[in-house]
Amino acid sequence: MTRITRRQFAGALSAIGAQFALKDPALAASDAPKPRFGFENVVQRAHDLALAPFDTAVPPRLPDPFDALDFDTWRGIRFKREHDIFAGADGGFRLETFHLGFLYRRPMTVNMIRDGIATPIPYSPALFDYGRLKVEKAPPVNTGFAGFRLHFPVNEPHVHDEVISFLGASYFRFLGRDQKYGLSARALCVETGSEHESFPFFREFWIETPEKGSNHATLYALLDGEAATGAFRFDLFAGQESALEIQATLFPRRTGMKLGLAPLTSMYLTGENDRDVRDGFRTELHDSDGLLIHTGAGEWLWRPLANPPRARISSFLDNNNRGFGLLQRDRTFESYQDLDLAYENRPSYFVEPMGDWGEGRVELLELPTRDETNDNIVASWTPAKSPEPGAPFVYAYRITAGLDMPQLAPNGMVVNTFEAPARALGSAEPVNPGAHRFIVDFAGGDLAYYVADPGQVEAVATTSAGRVLRANIAANEHIGGLRALFDVAVEPRSTADLRLFLRTHGRTLTETWTYPWTAPAA
């Protein structure tokens, strides 16, 4: 990690918003041109770092009074807008840093790059409004920061709203227009869901000064961890659907580690398909309600999320996956009834590999939770062959943050999933005591055409265990689409992987709904 000396500080503080003062012109003219700092420098640092023993050290104490801050006091420390680090960028991006404290105790060095020269941003009490906190002695200039965020006029021309932040381990999140923070992304996850899970972290960042009036920002990051080091390049394009293009070079430290690439982290407490947790007046509570996968073969899969009674991992084997993401499809306020948290405006994140990722699997981890403060959902790509020490592992991908994202629904899509006991109401047919009913609503694509004649459409339902007893289709004019109902009989305590899609005369009309279901004990 770069350390800032007091000698550097006198000149460095003046660089906030402006370049350092030049040397004497006569001396400067004789200097050879300095090489420009770029991503290749970060890759070299990651390579060198991987050869050294992993440094687990975290400062045992933060300078007083920052060592024992609760969340509210830490949140009350505000970066002063008048010290915007990109001052003079003429209405483009603004850069603010987060103060150390609360859970965020590991310091990060943040550098700005101007004209190819990288300069650390020194800590100064002048950068922050400490709120109700009394600071008697200023921390040293090499204290570092917990993280940082960028602001950009993504919603209104003259209002700079936060569009991306990096805070804690390797977590980051970003927004497009009219979106509110919900799920997060990470640079890398390691042994997720196991007792050996570890959390790599960003040691240092370098941020290119954006061009005047541009919506494009470039950032480089040095990742460190017990399992691997890495160099990451982030290219942010802020807009209605903000996009983040990521280039990564990993240097594994250990063999046989299960690494999750492009991990997404979210929260799911309760929804229409999973009502085991009740929360007063709010009938649904989630940042995402489903996992969408675009397979290498071209199939679109939709997997509704759940809050399971115990940890559950689902794997979707694939070759050259085309994309996966955690989506928030339910955009109606009535589903959430939360005036403050606006779950209906939480973004969806969709990952698209740039280049071939080969064989592997999309892995979904669902953890049980009793409240909405815990992120209990993780989705990532795990290569079939684990990267090994001794050689760099290079990959790239794009994440898009959006609301409706119509490009992700080329055919009809799932909009609701319900479960119920199987009852043959009004029928002389006996009810199978082990049967369970699934009700799935599809809308979009060509489905509105078939609302007047749903008999032209077939519900194709399959199960990996037990058997499908019946499957029916009905028009659902409320959504301009169709409702499929099917009953499944499975042995007690057995788990079945269910699949369902709609077709007409051999032509597929929808994505494939997929869902695991465990039959209760008899």
Q: What are the φ and ψ backbone dihedral angles of 125, each rounded to 5 degrees?
A: -65, -20
Q: How many CB atoms lie within 10 A of CB 126?
A: 11
Give tens-digit pLDDT for 195-213. 999 999 999 999 999 998 8
Q: Which two tokens stand for residue 288?
A: 């995402």
pLDDT at position 85 is 83
The span from the CA of 143 to the CA of 13, in Å, is 14
Element at 148 (helix H, strand E): strand 147-156
**Strand partners of residue 458:** 503
Domains of the chain and CATH, by start: 39-408 (2.70.98.10), 413-518 (2.60.40.10)
Give tens-digit pLDDT for 26-68. 444 456 667 899 999 999 999 999 999 999 888 888 989 999 9
pLDDT at position 279 is 65
Q: Which two tokens stand for residue 281?
A: 């007046």
3-class SS at 454? helix
Q: Which two tokens stand for residue 228?
A: 């691997």
pLDDT at position 236 is 99
3-class SS at 449? helix
Q: How many CB atoms lie within 10 A of CB 435?
A: 20
pLDDT at position 283 is 84
CB 111 within 8 A of CB 104: no
The span from the CA of 448 to the CA of 99, in Å, is 52
pLDDT at position 248 is 99
pLDDT along the chain (522 residues), means of 10: 39 38 44 84 98 88 91 95 74 91 95 95 94 90 95 94 97 98 98 93 97 94 98 98 98 95 97 75 92 98 96 97 98 93 97 98 96 95 95 98 90 95 68 87 97 97 95 97 96 94 97 95 80
Give tens-digit pLDDT for 317-331. 999 999 999 999 999
pLDDT at position 16 is 36
From the list 309, 305, 311, 307, the residue with the least C-alpha distance to 325 is 305
pLDDT at position 19 is 36
pLDDT at position 428 is 63
First to last CA, the chain: 59
